[in-house]
Amino acid sequence: MKDTGHIHLLLPDILWPQEENKLEKPPVRPTTLEKYLTRSRVVPFQGNDLTETMFNLFGIASDSGSDYPVGAVSYFGYGGEPAKRCWAKATPVHLMADGDRVLLFGPDQLDIKPNEAESLARDFNDHFKPDGLSLLIQYQDDWYLQLPECPELTTYDIDFVIGRHIENYLPNGTDRPAWVNIFNETQMLFHQSGVNQQRMALGRATINGLWFSGFGGLPAPGQGYGAIYSSLPLAKGLARLSNTIHYEPQNCFDEIGCIDGETIIVYMGFADSKRTLDLAQWEDALMHTNDCLDRVSNGKSCEEFSIYNCRGEAFLVSRKRLRRGFWKPNKNIFSVAKGRRG
């Protein structure tokens, strides 16, 4: 029986060093990855970031002018039951004044302790109980907001904002004024907390704000897959929602067998390097992805591949297309990964 395995490989932030002008010299050429991209057929795919790409792969669209329901689906991935309430991600952050602007730093730089998260959640819940807002802690740096109904808002995922000034990323929509007030109130509340007074005394960055994003209720099930490999809570939620088998890989698709049907792999190596602007880590991710594809090329298990740059494009390639395009010279990773639809 012919194997018809199809891998969908998501590579968010693969191009960030070039986009942010961080490269001082060309990286080592990832020849196998470049071969796959050079010989592929590029088609538009709705997904200008990782979140959009994942939701659209599972056939779940957002309503016009609304968020993708990242909060509800991620909470569902932990085994929670969102019921018919509205949920959002409430990421703990450090906000730092930079002249008359404000910079945001993510939780990976805060080393939040479980007791600190629990204490801040109690403060928040006591303060906002009259508004029907409730903060739930899954892990020290993975927090969720439950609220009676969804506001009319569109928000930016935390990954867009880390290391940047927040002014251009505040929510938009009819309910923007109310949620900017909640954002500011939370800052004042957390500033006064015992947790942050102690952190300041120890010279540690304070947990002085929450970044709200991904408002929505739990959507109807979408398309299912044979398996999805990812450690992201969103991936776990989409898997549970669609009755897809979920695995947590240690590295990319090491030891991942291509099964009959379709498999999704979400590789976060490039995105992780972007959070710390670590070029060495990015190059390691580039060569790791290349090595993984090289092993797949030498095996015989998968016939088709779709590679997503999470910038609105998919690169479709099959073993037959790889063989047929042997004469094409590989293009540089930065020129080819941008896409060339058609």
pLDDT at 302: 77
Contact between residue 86 and residue 147 where contact means Cβ atoms under 8 Å apart:
yes
pLDDT at 1: 35
> Whole-model pTM?
0.91
C-alpha to C-alpha distance for 210 and 182, rounded to whole angstroms: 10
pLDDT at 314: 95
pLDDT at 77: 94
Q: Is 61 helix (H, G, I), strand (E, B) or coil?
A: coil
H or E, element range at 120? helix 114-128
Intervals of the chain under pLDDT 70: 1-4, 64-65, 250-260, 297-301, 325-327, 339-342
Q: Is 182 helix (H, G, I), strand (E, B) or coil?
A: helix
H or E, element range at 44? strand 41-44
Contact between residue 242 and residue 57 where contact means Cβ atoms under 8 Å apart:
no
- A 10 A CB-CB count for 74 gives 25
C-alpha to C-alpha distance for 92 and 59, rounded to whole angstroms: 30
Q: What is the largest CA-CA distance in the chain?
A: 68
